[in-house]
Structure 1
Amino acid sequence: MPEAQRGNRRQARLSSDLTILAVIGILLAAALTAGGQAVYQQFYGPSAFVGRYLELLSDGRAADALQIPGVAVDSAVLEQTGLDPTASEALLRHAALAPLDDVEIIGEKQDGDVVTVTADYSAGGVSGTTSFLVVQDGWMGVVPNWRFAASPLAEIDLTLRGADQFSVNGFEIDRRQVSVDGMDAKADDPLPLLVFTPGVYSVTVDTAISSTPGLSVLADSPLARTPVQVQAEPTAEFIKVVQDRVTEFLTACATQEVLQPTACPFGYEVQNRVVSTPKWSIERHPKVSVVPDGEHWAIPATTAVARIQVDIMSLFDGHVDKVTEDVPFRVDGTITILADGSASIMVGSPDADLD
């Protein structure tokens, strides 16, 4: 074969090899770019940042979650974002977190400097979706740092009547220990409580005086305020105590040997002359019930029967009658829970105090 022809073939083969190498290079560069992008998304992107926060909540690591940039905020920031600057941080702890499962980042959208990251999850068995706002916060070497542009904390405004002690997800709280008003905290005043989002928060009461079946709230919107109304109901034990005290009170009233026992809900009027010492007894005690009354309790009006025995002389002819008569009466009252947890029971008359 002529030398010129062999040279042309070598040149064609070299050109083909260079083309193949160029294609391989392009494919390799594309693969590296795609791989780098995948690594970035998985470990260094805004979705990864939100994912780490949600992972900490899933593991119950509340203290570590608070260290994520942009989570913890001071009272001034709370006020600027519409939350109560005095809100308690009592629920920002491991003991108050419910399980967070099946977390999945489902969306990431950038608008200027702000990235919206959306996640699905199951919080305490309740499915939910929450979006978080994230911005870049400088660099760590060649990879970006991130922070929440808006804190993922939220606020539950709890109005709890009928109890000062309650629990959230099993974590026990006393209203007076977390309220800015301390011992002066009133049941009608909402109690602001900061919480992590997302999360389910179940409020229950289980005391000797009152209880509730539990009310669950899904906090799924960062910086949102959620009002929660909880009315505790009296326990059977509490109602029995009130019944016993009312029975004791009426029995004591019956020991007064007068027609109108002092500070008692029954009495007897006569137009003639009493010639013997009146004797009282309670023939039928009231069946007491207890109902909520604002931040305290009330005894709804119920009927009872007392019996009087007394000798009465007619002013007209001097005849003496031995009177035995049943006297129906009604009993109601109020119950105030004192600061030490005891109950002050007031039956009917404001003087009838059964501390």
Structure 2
Amino acid sequence: MRTSRKLLISALLVIVLTVAAVPFLNLTVYTPARAAEAYISAIEHADAERAFSYLSSPTPSSTLALNHDVLSAAPDLPRDAEAKTVSIDDDHAKVSLSYVLSSQTQTVDLSMVKLPAAAGLFDRWVIEQKKWPTLDLQVEGSSTATVNGYGVAAGTVPVLFPATYLVGFDATYLKSKPERAEVIAPTDTAQITLSPEPTAKLEQAVNKQVSEHLHKCVKAKTLYPSDCVFGYDTDNEILGDVKWSLVREPRVSLAASGNDLELTPSTVEVRIQGRYRDIVTAAEHDFDETLSFVMGGSVIVKSSQVRFDPRRLGDVTVK
């Protein structure tokens, strides 16, 4: 009985001491500033799940970039966090937070909100985000991109702050050079425009379309093949059909011009053969001419589909 009584008294004493210590701990340990520093520590260690416990945020539109893998692959994460509680007003507080990211010291002002007390005793402060910080990815020619090497949908991508993100894309037909973006504060939106560069597969696809276009054109039996970028001018009367053939195909290569892709101008030579009646003498003659022109054009990639729109640059010349 005496042992049980001693244990009960000891337990009650622990409870009393703990309750008595709560106000002191809430003033010194469970503070808005400490919560902000704990959040930065979680980001520094790529612990996304722990970081979420220090956030009060709306439901994100996408969680593809809100994970440990994306954080752990970041080029740089924050360190050396120091926070100071600026003011407390009931269940809201203002905190000034500084940290180092990419060798630069950053300082941001945070709004904090107090959630229901942990274990019913200790204050629980979290960062109040009205909206998620985001990467705004404008990607021409691709519906996807990569953030720190992980695939996301192009457009608005919610991310965790603060961190450095490496953004790019590498699709079947288009790729881009990676762009570096830093998200410093919970209100940040980093806008990134990725300019497309052709892949080897795109050049192969365009080469096939260019070849098919020209071989279709030379099957024509008229002076001006339909929907083609070349034709033959003459004042004489053509007798019967003409025969076209391809003498020199263009060398296909692509170049990016801003967000557009263009076929690098290249010389094409075609041969036309037939018979004509001279409009002055009425004499009939065979003719055999080689025509030369410079071919260009634009390339459009949408939904993994490639379309080549040919264009002639300058006049057709007779060799």
TM over 0.5: yes
Higher strand fraction (1 or 2): 2
Amino acid of the structure 2 residue aligned with 1:105 = A
Tell me the residue number matched to 1:215.
179
Give the structure 1 partner of residue 8 of structure 2.
Answer: none
Going from structure 1 to structure 2, the CA distance change for 1:199 and 1:69 (only over 3 Å counts) comes to: closer
Give 5+ residue unaligned stretches, structure 2: 1-20, 313-319
CA distance in structure 1 between the partners assigned to 2:276 and 2:116 by the alignment: 99
In the TM superposition, residue 296 of structure 1 has moved relative to its aligned partner by: 6.2
Identify the match of residue 321 of structure 1 among 285, 295, 314. 285
Computing the radius of gyration from Cα coordinates, the structure with the larger value is 1
Instruction: Flag the structure with higher helix content.
Output: 1
Q: 1:148 and 2:122 equivalent?
A: no
- The equivalent of 1:240 in structure 2 is 204
Using a 3 Å threshold, how does the CA distance of structure 1 residues 241 and 69 change in structure 2: closer, same or farther? Answer: closer
Shift of 1:197: 0.8
- Deviation digits for residues 8-64 of structure 1 (CA, Å, limit 9, x no counterpart): xxxxxxxxxxxxxxxxxxxxxxxxx9xx78x975x5333331232223323333234
What's the TM-score, normalizing by structure 2?
Answer: 0.75
**Cα distance change of structure 1 residues 150 and 342 upon mapping to structure 2, 3 Å threshold:** closer
Partner SS state of residue 275, structure 1: strand
Structure 1 residue 169: Cα displacement: 0.6
Pick from 53, 65, 84 the counterpart of residue 91 of structure 1. 65
Q: Report the CA distance between 1:291 and its aligned residue.
A: 4.5
Partner in structure 2 of residue 133 of structure 1 = 111
Separation of aligned partners in 2, 1:56 and 1:106 = 14
Residue in 2 that maps onto 1:204: 168
Shift in CA distance, 258/101, structure 1 to aligned 2, threshold 3 Å: closer
Q: Of the candidates 220, 225, 228, which is equivalent to residue 256 of structure 1?
A: 220
Aligned partners of 1:272, 1:69: CA distance in 2, in Å? Answer: 82
d(CA) in 2 for partners of 1:304, 1:142:
82
- The Cα of 1:215 is off from its aligned counterpart by 0.2
Q: Which letter maps to 2:81?
A: I
Matched, 1:51 2:30: no
- The AA in structure 1 aligned to 2:68 is H
Residue 73 (structure 1) aligns with: 58
Alignment-derived partner of residue 4 in structure 2:
none
Q: Could you state the TM-score of these two structures normalised by the residue count of structure 1?
A: 0.68
**CA 1:173–1:126 in structure 2 vs 1: closer, same or farther (change >3 Å)?**
farther
| Matched residue type, 1:48 | R
* Residue 65 of structure 1: how far off its partner (Å): 2.4
Give the gaps of 5 or more residues in structure 1.
Answer: 1-32, 76-86, 176-190, 350-355
Between 1:329-338 and 1:289-298, the stretch displaced more is 289-298
Identity among equivalent positions (%) equals 21
Deviation at 1:194, TM superposition (A): 1.5
Distance 2:260 2:301 in 1: 6
- 3-state SS in 2 of match to 1:278: strand
Equivalent of 1:110 in 63, 71, 86:
86
The alpha carbon displacement at 1:101 in A equals 4.8
